[in-house]
Structure 1
Amino acid sequence: MLALFALHGIPEVQAGDDLGTLIGDVADGLLEDGDILAVTSKIVSKAEGRIVQAADREQAITDETVRVVARRGMTRIVENRLGIVGAAAGVDASNTPEGTVLLLPLDPDASAAALRTTLEARFGIRLGVILTDTLGRAWREGQTDVAIGGSGVRLLDDLRGSLDTQGRRLDVTVPATGDEIASAADLVKRKSAGLPVAVVRGLSHLLDDDAPDARVLIRSSATDMFRLGTEEAWNEGFEAGKETIAPLPFNLSD
C-alpha cells in the first residue's frame, strides 16, 4: 500500500544549517525501512547559501542559463546548467526572505546523497532521497513537482522487455518514477504550508544503491524532438535556407 505524509516541525532553514539533523529531529520515530523522502530543493538551497538579492534576479537567471529556448516579454524559458529546461533557470522568489531569490542547489544529486547518508546512519534503516522542484509543462496548464536530484532511488523504472497483462511485450514503457514520486509528494507538502519534506512509503522496490542520478531524466538533445524554441527554429531554418538557395543565373542589376 502506498502512503504519503508530510513531516511537521521543520524550522525555517538558514544558510549553514545541518539539514540532515533538522530533518532527522522531526522524523525520529516516524521513518521505516524502505521509505523515500521527497525534499523540496528550496530548503537545500537555503542551507547551502544559494541566496542572492532580488535586484540581481535577471542577472542570476543569465548566470544560471546555458541556452535560451524561448522568450516572451520578460519571461525566459532556458536550459540551466543542470540541463533542466524551465522558466527563469529555476531562480525562485517564493518561500524566501523578502528582497531575496533562491538559486537551485549546485549539485542536487550530491545534496540528496549527503542527506541519505546522514539519515540512514542516524536511524539504521535503508532510505531513498529525492530533491524536488516545481516546473511548468509544455502544452499543459499549471505546474507540478519533478525530481531534480536523487540518491538510492530508481528515478526511471525500465519496464521494456516485460509483458503487459495481455502477454504483450513492452518496448517503450519507462515510467518516470522520480517525477511521479515528486508530484505525489507535493500533494501533502503543499506550496504554502511550510512542509518541505514528505515521506513516501510503499515503494521500497524502487530503492537501489546503484541507481543513476537525476540527469537520467533529462532527454538527450539527439532524441529531443522539441529541443528548439520558436526563435531558434526560425533562425536555424533561415540560415539553412540561405545555404541551399541556388544562385540566380543572371544579375538582377542588369
Structure 2
Amino acid sequence: MITVWSPDGVGEVRAGDDLAAVVLTALERSDRRLADGEVLLVTSKVVSKAEGRARRSTREAELPGETERVVARRGPTQIVRTRLGLTMAAAGIDASNVAAGWVLLLPEDPDASARRLRTAVRDRTGVNIGVVVTDTAGRAWREGQTDIAIGAAGVRVLESFAGRTDAYGNPLAVTAPAVADELAAAAELGQGKLGSRPFAVVSGRADLVLPPGEDGPGARALVRAEGADLFGYGAREAVVRALRGDPADRAPFGSAAPAEELAEALLEVTGTPAESVAGGLRVAADGPAVAALAFAHGWEVAAFRAGLAVLRPVTP
C-alpha cells in the first residue's frame, strides 16, 4: 500500500532557513516521524526561498538569464529549455506565493539541493530516506499541469522493464516508468496548491530508495539530451529555424536522418524523386525548400549545379 502524508502548519520559509529543521519540526508538530525507506518530497518554491532565489523583479527581466534556448512562443508565452535542461513555460520562474513585485527562480542545482537535504535528515535522525524536489509543469498535447521531479537524491528516478515480458508473454522493449515524476504527482495530490503544505512523505515504495551514501543520478537523468527529443521546437519555430539554416540550431533536430527518409520528404514537397550518389542524394530541384528540408533532416546542400542539388548528411 502506498500512502501520501502532508503536514499542515508550515510557516513562511525565508532565505537562509535550515530546510531540514523546517521539515522535521513540521513533522514533529504532527506527531509524525520519518522512517527508513520513505520518500520526502519538497516543492521547489520552499527550496528556492531557503536558498535565496527570490528576486525583486519580473518574469520578463529574469527569463533571459534562465533560458538556454526558446522552444516555442505564442504571444507573450514562451516555452524554453532552461539552463537545467528542463522544458518549461517561462523557465519555471514563479510569481505566486511571493510578495507582489517579487519572483522565484528555480533552485540553482535541484539535485544538489536534494542531496543536502537528504544528508541533513540522516545526520539528525539516522533515517535513510529518498528526497525529491518537485515543480509544476505542463505537458505537450495535454491540458492542465502536474508536478514533476526536478531534483532527486537517494531515489531511483527511472524503473526499467526492458527485457521482461508482460502477463501475455509480450516483450517489453522500452518501458521505463519515470517513478520520480509519479512520486511528485502523488505528493501534489496530498499537498494541494493552496494548502500551505510544501512537504509530503510517501511510504510504501522503499524499493525505490537507495542505500545510505548512494544518491543516484538525480532527476537530471530524466532530461533528454538535445536532439534526442522528437519535439525540439514548436511547430512554427521548427519551420523558421529550418528555413534560416543556422548551424547553431541543428542540435534540436537530432542526428542525420536516413537517406530514404529525406528522399521521401523531398518527393512529397518538390514532387521530384531523389537519386543516390556517392555519400548522399541528388535531386533535380533547388531553392529554399530543398535547403530547409535538408537542414531539418540533419543534412546539408553540398552543391547547387544547374538546377540540381547535391545533399550530404552532416557529420556529427
**TM-score normalized by the length of structure 1:** 0.92
SS in 1 for 2:4: strand
Instruction: Specify the alignment match of 1:41 in structure 2.
Output: 44
Instruction: Specify the alignment match of 2:33 in structure 1.
Output: 30
Alignment of 1:1-254 (within 5 A): 1-28=1-28, 29-54=32-57, 56-208=58-210, 209-239=214-244, 242=288, 243=291, 244=301, 246=304
Post-superposition CA distance 1:82-114 (Å, at most 9, x none): 000010001000111222110000000010011
Post-superposition CA distance 1:40-63 (Å, at most 9, x none): 010000001101123x32120111
SS in 2 for 1:158: coil
**TM-superposed deviation, 1:236:** 3.2
Q: For 2:215 and 2:190, locate their aligned partners in 1 and report how far apart those are by CA, in whole Å.
A: 28
**TM-superposed deviation, 1:120:** 1.5
Instruction: Specify the alignment match of 2:276 in structure 1.
Output: none
SS in 2 for 1:221: coil
CA contact (8 A) 2:59 2:90 kept: no
SS in 2 for 1:186: helix
Q: For 2:20 and 2:26, locate their aligned partners in 1 and report how far apart those are by CA, in whole Å.
A: 10
Q: Mean Cα displacement is larger for which, 67-76 or 226-235?
A: 226-235
SS in 2 for 1:79: strand
**TM-superposed deviation, 1:21:** 0.7
Q: For 1:231 and 1:139, locate their aligned partners in 2 and report how far apart those are by CA, in whole Å.
A: 16
Q: Mark the CA change 1:163 to 1:225 in structure 2 (over 3 Å): closer, same or farther.
A: same
**TM-superposed deviation, 1:24:** 1.2
**TM-superposed deviation, 1:247:** 6.3
SS in 2 for 1:237: helix
Q: For 2:90 and 2:23, locate their aligned partners in 1 and report how far apart those are by CA, in whole Å.
A: 29
Q: For 1:222 and 1:68, locate their aligned partners in 2 and report how far apart those are by CA, in whole Å.
A: 15
Bigger RCO (CA 8 Å, 6+ sep): 1
Q: Which amino acid aligns with 1:226?
A: F
SS in 1 for 2:233: coil
Aligned length: 248
SS in 2 for 1:184: helix
SS in 2 for 1:39: strand
Q: Which amino acid aligns with 2:231?
A: F
**5+ unaligned residues in a row in structure 1: which ranges?**
250-254
**5+ unaligned residues in a row in structure 2: which ranges?**
246-286, 292-300, 308-316
Q: Which amino acid aligns with 1:167?
A: G
Q: For 2:215 and 2:92, locate their aligned partners in 1 and report how far apart those are by CA, in whole Å.
A: 28
Q: For 2:164 and 2:236, locate their aligned partners in 1 and report how far apart those are by CA, in whole Å.
A: 41
**TM-superposed deviation, 1:65:** 0.6
Q: For 1:108 and 1:238, locate their aligned partners in 2 and report how far apart those are by CA, in whole Å.
A: 37
**TM-score normalized by the length of structure 2:** 0.75
Q: For 2:244 and 2:50, locate their aligned partners in 1 and report how far apart those are by CA, in whole Å.
A: 46
Q: Mean Cα displacement is larger for which, 167-176 or 199-208?
A: 167-176
Q: For 1:215 and 1:165, locate their aligned partners in 2 and report how far apart those are by CA, in whole Å.
A: 32
Larger Rg: 2
Q: For 1:58 and 1:236, locate their aligned partners in 2 and report how far apart those are by CA, in whole Å.
A: 23
Q: Which amino acid aligns with 2:123?
A: A
SS in 1 for 2:175: coil
Q: For 1:95 and 1:60, locate their aligned partners in 2 and report how far apart those are by CA, in whole Å.
A: 17
Identity %: 49
Q: For 1:97 and 1:248, locate their aligned partners in 2 and report how far apart those are by CA, in whole Å.
A: 65
Q: For 2:132 and 2:169, locate their aligned partners in 1 and report how far apart those are by CA, in whole Å.
A: 33
Q: For 1:57 and 1:227, locate their aligned partners in 2 and report how far apart those are by CA, in whole Å.
A: 23
Q: For 2:8 and 2:153, locate their aligned partners in 1 and report how far apart those are by CA, in whole Å.
A: 23
